Structure 1
Amino acid sequence: MTLPPLDDLLATARVVALPMAARFRGIDVREALLLEGPEGWSEFSPFAEYDDAEAATWLAAAIDWGWTAQPAPVREFVPVNATVPAVAAASVPELLTRFDGCRTAKVKVAEPGQRLADDVARVRAVREAMGPEGRVRIDANGGWNLDEAEHALHALAEYDLEYAEQPCATVDELAQLRRRIAYMGIPIAADESVRKAADPLAVARAGAADLVVVKAQPLGGVRRALGIVADAGLPAVVSSALDTSIGLAMGVALAAALPELPYDCGLGTSSLFQTDAATPPLTPQGGVLPVGRVAPDPARLDELAASADRRKWWTNRLARCHAVLAASG
């Protein structure tokens, strides 16, 4: 990767703050820094709690997407799932209407401060709304220990789970859980054990997952994520990192370039925003997203502009992560 000068990045940088339709990952407003490169608009939006070393990988992805031609797609549309935050069960039907035509729903579970009973009620509501033909998967974000995960999956198994994403935090726990619940027929997907790991292939070598969840920004871009999937030798689901429509297009490009795409992808998350930086936003229509780059609406950039203090915070972060990339050669 050729690193553009910092001044070139700062020249087009726009920081936006997108209000959420429902609280997600503990946030009500999603901030992102958008950049325009020779190939088009790109996005740098690591979550606020990530340190500069981790966030620099997201910047590498943003630069790769905005400054480099991408692998050719093998499909024109990517099927996507609905995403259900840790909302009350009564809110599920209305929330699902935001995801036009989606035949799969991913349900957040193991939310801090909630109980297993809340998860069961939410998953039951999703199954009822999706009907017997719909696909329901859960995502615990590593929130359970080994015994909690086994107990929870027993409680949730009656809702015919497509798979359980990151039920435990560590690779060793995932491997043990996979052995314990083999008779239940619920596949295990690894997310954080791939994108936040020093060795993203360790989970595959340990036999700790049946499939991997990959995200373009956290893994350093489309090409690097494609390499990880190929080396892991496991089926892959492409998911978002709560990107704006500009960043979601990067994820769609990743999904479109995979040789095989056996699962619906978690790229419909623009539907969780009240408004987005693009007009129209990249939201599911008939359960799919089109392949192609997305540019922000200039009027939206002005309407959604973050405060001066937050812009300074993001541009300072951009400068620090640029320095990390420069130092790494």
Structure 2
Amino acid sequence: MTPLPAAADLLASAHVVALPMRVRFRGVDVREAVVFEGPCGWGEFAPFAEYPDDEAARWLAGGIEAAYAGWPAAVRDTVPVNATVPAVPADRVADVLARFDGCTTAKVKVAERGQSVDDDVDRVAAVRDVMGPSARIRVDANGGWSETGAVEALARLAAYDLEYAEQPCATVEELASLRIALARNGINVLVAADESIRKAEDPVRVARLGAADLVVVKAAPLGGVRAALEVVDACGLPAVVSSALDTSVGIAAGIALAAALPELDHACGLGTVSLFERDLAVDPLRPVAGRLATAHPVPDATALDELAAAPDRQHWWRDRLARCLDLLTEGVPR
């Protein structure tokens, strides 16, 4: 377990930033985050605003691990990454993909509120058209479909040779039932679990109930790189590492996780810095030739100043960080 810093020390080096998005993503136009420096480098605390403190505390544990303990040894120096396509109209797909240098896998957002399956099909078709027949395409519904809706949507989307569907339904029970329904209907699409891993009190339940073919793991929501590695080991399923719309500081933890996995057979969702208008790092972690190298990004002092959040948001985030540190000190599981 990583020793916890004093609140005064953590807050003394903390910077609250607000990064404008190129495209609205996950309902977010501006991504807010806290970054702070420790003896091992920089860490990030950026749970989404709606998350309660007990859940957000795990994100803080991950940031503290990065800044105060460092990460496990890597078994590879670079990791493959996928392009990420938000729920944009089909005619904007090519522009989005152009920001992901050399990526041969794309994750496409589907089941967006206010959109239809027709919109999803058009978007995925455009991705296949731009990337060609050899590219891998995965879709991410963020739990937005019912089981029936998922069967109907995936029956249509399967025509584009999907690598897998990420969190097509919200609950573990629905995922388990969906896998059976897909097989019965001859729909050859694998199921990956994301929210059912990172937001669950018992992430291994996915594996016990046979609810997924793969697990998607994110360093910050699971409490850090070491905690995420333990989850992967306990689940015993192939793992895909993804981001939580992190700055380069947070992405570095995801790369460290992917670099430390014993096996890595899938491109990782760690290229999302390309979705920001501007990042805070001196050398932003954007994919080159479809890969990212292990790194310890250092924020640029000018960027920290120019991207600083408004005073009321500074206060909100610093209070939240202090509350979450108190929870960790009291022994909330990490």
- Normalised by the length of structure 1, the TM-score is 0.99
Question: Deviation of residue 155 (structure 1)?
Answer: 1.0
Q: Which residue of 2 aligns with 1:311?
A: 314
User: Residue 49 of structure 2 aligns to which amino acid in structure 1?
Assistant: A
Structure 1 residue runs without a partner (length 5+): none
Q: Which residue of 1 aligns with 2:190?
A: 187
Question: Deviation of residue 146 (structure 1)?
Answer: 0.4
Give me the identity figure in percent. Answer: 63
Q: List aligned pairs for 1:232-243, cutoff 5 A.
A: 232-243=235-246
Q: List aligned pairs for 1:16-95, cutoff 5 A.
A: 16-95=17-96
Structure 2 counterpart SS, 1:321? helix
Question: Deviation of residue 316 (structure 1)?
Answer: 0.4
Q: 2:269 and 2:239 mapped to 1: Cα distance?
A: 11
Q: 1:234 and 1:94 mapped to 2: Cα distance?
A: 34
Question: Deviation of residue 28 (structure 1)?
Answer: 0.5
Q: 1:68 and 1:98 mapped to 2: Cα distance?
A: 33
Q: Which residue of 2 aligns with 1:175?
A: 176
Q: Which residue of 1 aligns with 2:164?
A: 163
Structure 1 counterpart SS, 2:103? coil
Contact 2:83/2:107 (<8 A) preserved: yes
Q: Which residue of 1 aligns with 2:263?
A: 260
Question: Deviation of residue 279 (structure 1)?
Answer: 2.4
Structure 2 residue runs without a partner (length 5+): none
Q: List aligned pairs for 1:239-250, cutoff 5 A.
A: 239-250=242-253
Structure 1 counterpart SS, 2:319? helix
Question: Deviation of residue 299 (structure 1)?
Answer: 1.0
Contact 2:158/2:188 (<8 A) preserved: no
Q: 1:100 and 1:261 mapped to 2: Cα distance?
A: 20
Structure 1 counterpart SS, 2:70? coil
Q: 1:277 and 1:140 mapped to 2: Cα distance?
A: 29
Q: 1:187 and 1:262 mapped to 2: Cα distance?
A: 15
Q: 1:69 and 1:112 mapped to 2: Cα distance?
A: 39
Structure 2 counterpart SS, 1:83? strand
* Residue 210 of structure 1 pairs with residue 213 of structure 2: yes
Structure 1 counterpart SS, 2:35? strand
Q: 1:304 and 1:292 mapped to 2: Cα distance?
A: 22
Runs of 4+ with >6 A deviation: none
Question: Deviation of residue 326 (structure 1)?
Answer: 1.1
Q: 1:306 and 1:153 mapped to 2: Cα distance?
A: 40
Q: Which residue of 2 aligns with 1:227?
A: 230
Question: Deviation of residue 34 (structure 1)?
Answer: 0.3
Question: Deviation of residue 328 (structure 1)?
Answer: 1.3
- Normalised by the length of structure 2, the TM-score is 0.98
Select which of 319, 323, 331 maps to 1:320.
Answer: 323
Contact 2:282/2:297 (<8 A) preserved: no
